[in-house]
Chain A
Amino acid sequence: MRASRHAAPASLPIGSDADLAWVRQQVRQAAAELGFGLVQQTKLVTAASELARNTLVHGGGGHVEITPLDAGPSPGLRLAFVDAGPGIRDLDQAMTDGYTSGGGLGLGMSGAKRLVQEFEVDSRPGEGTRVTVTSWATVVPPTRPGS
């Protein structure tokens, strides 16, 4: 059996516009290092941008934990966006296309969900929100027959 090997998660603060840009760059770099294709990278970075902005705008700032997952058959990247803000009062509503409480297009949560493979929200009113997303790189086995 393959030994399970988890690299230590990196934690980045989300407190300003510049932090959003930094999160996008770091997520892209981590995804590229794990062998994500360009489209997959772009989807994950975009999802990260949406969720980090939620953390900043609705959660009053927080941080993101970036965890590379390379124990399974294909590598993955897990991102957890954490804030100690007011929490999401109506989760179903927040997940609906077009619903917005922040003057955006209302695609942040529902759109981000469509860009990743796993999506999980843990929110408690008055305590904060933790949104965890995971994407797996689809990897073609590197060995070619006859090689």
Chain B
Amino acid sequence: MNDFFNRGPALGLRLVLAIACSVGLMFVDRYTESATQIRSLLTSAVGPLFYAASLPESLIAGASEQLMSQQQLLSENAQLKDRLLQQDVQLQLLSFLQQENDKLRALLGSAPVVQGQRLIAEVLAVYSHPFSHQVVLNKGSNDGVSVHQPIIDEKGVVGQIVSVGPTSSRALLISDNTHAISVRAERTGVRTVAEGLGQWDMLRVIHLPLSTDIREGDRLLTSGLDGRFPEGYPVAEVIQVIKDASQPFMTVHARPYASLDRIRHVLILWPGSQVEAVRQAEEEN
């Protein structure tokens, strides 16, 4: 057995080397600033793998679209037209309200809310490992995506971009264990923080004193105080409030509005301030 691994170091030594390298990597990734760059580099390196892995699914989806009957297509088309009409009507009202809101804000002397830019991205891969809730999107730095941009879907906030490659990017979901988001209760205006638990359908609302007015069914919106997420997007609905007098804080759980387990398309947002900064930079040039 002595000449078992006659090329290179012995097995035990190899293990020690591998463990030392891993621990070094963990340290660099977790506790240093350069991790984001390394991550972005690696994300771009493995980008093609994600495209290859989602190929079967997109082929099946394409085939099933081909095989859809005309009847189905027509009825779907009619439905979509109906919905478009309804939403157009609501939009008319919205633009009026927005104008009014801007005027009122001007009267109050506060800065108007700047409508940001948006980009639709498709989800290439969902990695639902319990220890990391992340998705890979098919838009990258070539489309102008950058780190820390918020992403939303039609129902609510989904997460934020954490690393960017040229054609793909990786987003951390609000349900991830390492994610926290600053929120405000719509009914009472209580500001708090909702952090992920590693479960798709639950967030934990933390540091709420026992006397806080919060109850089941309260809507939690982004407060904009974290500087990442623009103000006013729906995040989660409170589903459970446990008051235990022996604990310093209440235990409050909330369910995210966005269906994080089955997202297909998301919107990447450019918060207003960033857009303004870009515009200013353009004007200066």
A and B are interacting partners: no
Chain B residues with CB under 8 Å of chain A are none
Chain A residues with CB under 8 Å of chain B are none
